[in-house]
Amino acid sequence: MDKFKKQLTIEEVENAALDFFPLLEVIRRGMPKDSTMEDTLKVMESVCKLAMKQRMQKEEEDEDKFGFFKKGYDPEDEPVVEE
């Protein structure tokens, strides 16, 4: 049976809800008082896309920092050791 045609279990839906509703509440708190649920869900979708983009950018920055010379490294900042 195709994995997408199989019915979701109550446990699967409960687990998804535990992830979803706290995120929805974060967005709802920032929305105007007269916003509809549809408005809130649309904004949530946009905010989640932005969060994913920011995550990818951060991961790319972290990858750039790998190795001996870190991003932003300036040899002039090294202390001078006199013998």
Spatial CA neighbour of 19 closest among 60, 48, 54, 42:
48
pLDDT at 77: 72
Query: CB-based burial of residue 22 (10 Å sphere; 0-12 exposed, 13-18 middle, 19+ buried)?
Result: exposed
Q: pLDDT band at residue 22, thresholds of 50, 70 and 90?
A: very high
Looking at residue 55, what is its pLDDT?
95
pLDDT confidence of residue 63: 77
What's the CA angle centered on 53, arms 74 and 66, to 5 degrees? 30
Average pLDDT on 13-31 reads 97
For residues 20-45, give the mean pLDDT: 97
Nearby residues of 30 by Cβ (< 8 Å), 6 or more positions away: 43
pLDDT in tens, 36-67: 999 999 999 999 999 999 999 998 887 776 66
Q: Please state, in angstroms and rounded to a whole number, the distance separating the CA atoms of residues 35 and 28.
A: 9
